[in-house]
Structure 1
Amino acid sequence: MNERRTIRENEMTLVRHLLKLAGLDPDSINIPTEVEEYEGGKMGSINFTDFNKAPYLNDLVQVIYTDSDQTPVVITLTQNSEHEILDMDFWKKDFSKLITYPTPEKVAVKDPNALI
Structure 2
Amino acid sequence: METRKIRDNEKALITFLLESLNLDLADYPINEDVFEYEGGKMGSISLNNNPDSYVGDLIQVEYIDTDGIPVVITLTEDDKGQLLDLDFWKNDMSKLLKYPSVDEVVILNGEE
CA contact (8 A) 2:59 2:109 kept: no
Distance in 2 between the 1:27 and 1:3 partners? 26
CA contact (8 A) 2:34 2:49 kept: no
CA offset at residue 27 of structure 1? 4.3
Distance in 2 between the 1:66 and 1:47 partners? 22
Distance in 2 between the 1:83 and 1:11 partners? 20
1:102 paired residue number: 100
Identity of aligned residues (%): 46
2:82 paired residue number: 84
Corresponding residue pairs, total: 110
Distance in 2 between the 1:28 and 1:51 partners? 19
**Which structure shows the bigger proportion of residues in helix conformation?**
2
Which residues of structure 2 form unaligned runs of 5+?
Answer: none
Say which SS state the counterpart of residue 97 (structure 1) adopts.
Answer: coil
Q: What TM-score does the superposition give when structure 1 sets the normalisation length?
A: 0.88
Q: What TM-score does the superposition give when structure 2 sets the normalisation length?
A: 0.91
Runs of 4 or more off by more than 4 Å in structure 1? none
